[in-house]
Structure 1
Amino acid sequence: MSNINLEDLSLHEEEEEEGFTFDIEEDDESHIDFRWCLVGRFLSNRPIHVNSMKATMADVWRPVKGVKIKEATTGLFLFQFSHELDMEEVLQGGPWTFDNHILIVERVQLGMQIENIPLNHVNFWVQVHNLPAGFMAEKVGKKLANYIGEFVEYDKNNNSSFWRQYMRLRVRVDVRQPLKKHKKVKNKGGEWCTVNFKYEKLGVFCFVCGVMGHAENKCEVRFSMERDDGVRAWSKELRAEPRRRRGRPTSRWLNEEGGEKANSGGMNVAGVAFNARGPTTDPVNPVNIDQSMQQENNLQNSITAVQSVNRRNQVNALTAVPSMPADIYGPHLSNQLVTQSLPNHNISHPTKNMNQPPPCINTPD
């Protein structure tokens, strides 16, 4: 065996060499446009059933141009959209859950390694309850939001009315930290009061440590206790009740919030027309009111036409007589023929029954 010259051997040869540089165009149609891709993971210590998750999330999102979902690595998923608007709707509409486990998603940019993208924050809508009167200002909301996490958005539509049960804030929350429950604030009179926080679409979280992603039966803090006294600092009170769309009739004499006058035709601010049967449109997706009323009028006209035809046929059957001259048979014989021609009807005198209303006919409402 020939001797190896150790002086010429470099163990750091690869580090000393210059690396490769690639020029990749973002508009190249031969590869995926990562601007419309999201990477995400579910906040759970249990494995996710991938096929069920893919079908569920697609049904919930309903992207116009579709979505492709792929498990990149164990527990890490790629969501590839075909249009920017579909992706933005998912980002703005969260948080999303599967099997009550929150999905954490972030954008993917060209050149990033998806395994190194931090997935530790979720945007929540947080309700602030028990605020003193006059404390619905945006500057108050920003300060409270930055205490909960990081301020994202102030819901002006919810907070600008003369009376609301709570303030609504969009907050970027760190899932590694315990959920904030309440905060003391001082009112204008110098008195302290406590405002409470409620999180919309909140998934699984622990009543022992207040951290999302696990229940108390899997909490490490609980297992490290010498003795569990059963006292829990967190509770289900942090969950906000589902918000409901308002859809009620109003009066043209009522001034709606925001300075708008109610429509005299019975349309409320959600664009819903009301009649005796209730709302004719969906308050979430209002349609053209004239079109809705025209469709109902057409239906009513069809029902009326069916009723008219049925009643006319019934009257003709009751009054049908043979074509005979009255002066030949005489009035008594004519009455006898009419009575004999309809044995199933109780008709004693034709002239007496002609002024009676036709029989009732059951028609669909």
Structure 2
Amino acid sequence: MSRFGENNGKGIKPMVRTIRVHAFNNSDLIRRLKRTTIIGRIMNPDFQSVGSLVLMMPRVWKLEGRVVGKDLGLGTFRFDFEREEDILEVMKTEPFNFNHWMVSIVRWEPVIHKDYPSAITFWVKIIGVPRDFWTDQDFRRIGNELGTVQEVDEENARVKVTIDSTMPLCFEMSVQFETGGEEVVVKMEYEKLFGYCASCFSLRHDEESCP
């Protein structure tokens, strides 16, 4: 093997070096980023441009001059705010979309993972649950199969759920109630959903690009 790595038949592949970064006290930096920064990822680079998103979102949020966006590469970006109050107002408008595809945007956390961030929070209407089972417990049980339940709206048969956008969307499931009776097929309607594959329900490509 040369120092450039193996020839895999498709050209020379560079070797990947691994280095170790020593621990240091970055607690002040972490506190500042958690207070002033949001981080995000586009879902479909074929239809979404990070550069365009970074330019457009401050206008959408009506925060021109009060927020600075940066392209972090690999489909990710960050926005730095002058005021935490503005972040709180922006996060109230989730879920986010750009150019008719979804975007994951979260408050910055010190997470090291290749898919970070991947969380998207939806209100999901659950259709088909018998009316006598419209309880917080039953809706929460169904919602937990979709992701992490943040809130339950019993009156309107909805759950607010944070999903992992690397996983396919779930649009229906069978539910067996412990009191007996037949299994019930319930369906999910994701509010403010834009762009997904009609074949595999991925948020990260369209049907023409489905593997």
**TM surpasses 0.5:** yes
Partner of 2:39, secondary structure, is: strand
2:201 to 210, 216, 219: 210
SS in 1 for 2:91: helix
Assess, with a 3 A threshold, how the Cα gap between structure 1 residues 25 and 42 changes in structure 2: closer, same or farther. closer
1:81-230 equivalence runs, <5 A: 81-109=81-109, 112=110, 118-155=116-153, 159-160=154-155, 166-186=156-176, 190-220=181-211
* Cα separation, partners in 2 of 1:134 and 1:60, compared to 1, 3 Å: farther
Point out 4+ residue stretches in structure 1 off by more than 6 angstroms: none
Matches within 5 A, 1:266-345: none
Structure 1 distance, partners of 2:79, 2:86, is: 11
> Which residue in 1 is equivalent to 2:33?
34
Native 8 Å contact 1:120 1:176 kept in 2: yes
- Change in CA separation of 1:21 and 1:138 when aligned onto 2, cut-off 3 Å: closer
Taking the aligned partners of 1:78 and 1:170, their CA distance within structure 2 comes to 24
Matches within 5 A, 1:53-72: 53-63=53-63, 66-72=66-72
Once residues 23 and 40 of structure 1 are traced to their aligned partners in structure 2, the CA distance between those partners, rounded to angstroms, is 22
Identity of aligned residues (%): 26
- SS of the residue 1:93 aligns to: coil
2:168–2:202 CA contact under 8 A, matched in 1: yes
Go from structure 1 to structure 2 and tell me whether the alpha carbon gap of 1:73 and 1:127 turns closer, same or farther (over 3 Å shift).
same
Scaled by the length of structure 2, the TM-score of the pair is 0.76
Q: Matched residue of 1:203: which SS? A: coil
- Give the superposition deviation at 1:115: 7.3
Offset of 1:22 from its aligned partner? 5.0
Normalising by structure 1, report the TM-score: 0.46
Question: Retained in 1: the 8 A contact 2:54–2:71?
Answer: no
Instruction: Say if 1:82 and 1:186 are closer, same or farther in 2 by CA, change over 3 A.
Output: same
Question: Counterpart of 1:34 in structure 2: which amino acid?
Answer: L
Spell out, residue by residue over 1:268-327, the C-alpha distance to the aligned partner (whole angstroms, 9 max, x if none).
xxxxxxxxxxxxxxxxxxxxxxxxxxxxxxxxxxxxxxxxxxxxxxxxxxxxxxxxxxxx
Higher strand share: 2
Shift in Å, 1:49: 3.6
Greater radius of gyration (CA): 1
How far did residue 77 of structure 1 move?
Answer: 0.8
User: Would the aligned equivalents of 1:41 and 1:104 in 2 still touch at CA under 8 Å?
Assistant: yes
What are structure 2's unaligned runs of at least 5 residues?
1-18
Number of aligned residues = 191
Higher helix share: 1
Q: Which has the higher contact order (CA 8 A, sep 6+)?
A: 2
Q: CA-to-partner distance for each residue in 1:156-180, whole Å, 9 max, x for gaps?
A: xxx33xxxxx511111112222211
Q: Distance in 1 between matches of 2:150 and 2:27?
A: 34
Measured in 1, the distance between the counterparts of 2:176 and 2:27 equals 57
Distance in 2 of aligned mates of 1:113 and 1:205: 26
* Secondary structure in 2 matching 1:85: helix
Contact 2:140 2:149 in 1 (8 A): yes
Alpha-carbon distance change, 50 to 146 in structure 1, aligned in 2, over 3 angstroms: closer
* Conservation of the 8 A alpha-carbon contact between 1:38 and 1:106: yes
Structure 2 residue matching 1:148: 3-state secondary structure: coil
